[in-house]
Amino acid sequence: MGLNYAIDCRACGAHTEYRTTINASEVVYTRLVEHVDTECAIRCPVCRARLNKSEAEFLDQVSITIGE
């Protein structure tokens, strides 16, 4: 079981999907969604635009799911 996430960048329109191999659970997912760090920049892998200027903006551009 791992964590899957997709980035839909508003700046360039790129859609990027990732699949991690960490042992994920509902607790990990909940913590990721409940607290988004806005101090350190999280950037689009294509255009390098900042995705986390605010928590709402980050959650609008990044979707996280628990996969197998």
Domains in the chain: boundaries:
2-67
Which of 1 and 5 is assigned the larger pLDDT? Answer: 5
Q: pLDDT value at position 7?
A: 93
Q: pLDDT value at position 67?
A: 72
Quick: pLDDT tens for 11-51: 999 999 988 777 666 666 676 667 788 889 999 999 999 99
Which of 67 and 18 is assigned the larger pLDDT? Answer: 18
Q: pLDDT value at position 1?
A: 64
Q: pLDDT value at position 34?
A: 73
Strand partners, 18: 5
Query: Cα(59)–Cα(21) distance, rounded to whole angstroms?
Result: 22
SS3 40: coil
- Which residues, other chains included, contact 19 with Cβ-Cβ below 8 Å and sequence gap of 6+? 2, 3, 4, 67
Q: Which tokens in the block code for residue 25? A: 């659970």
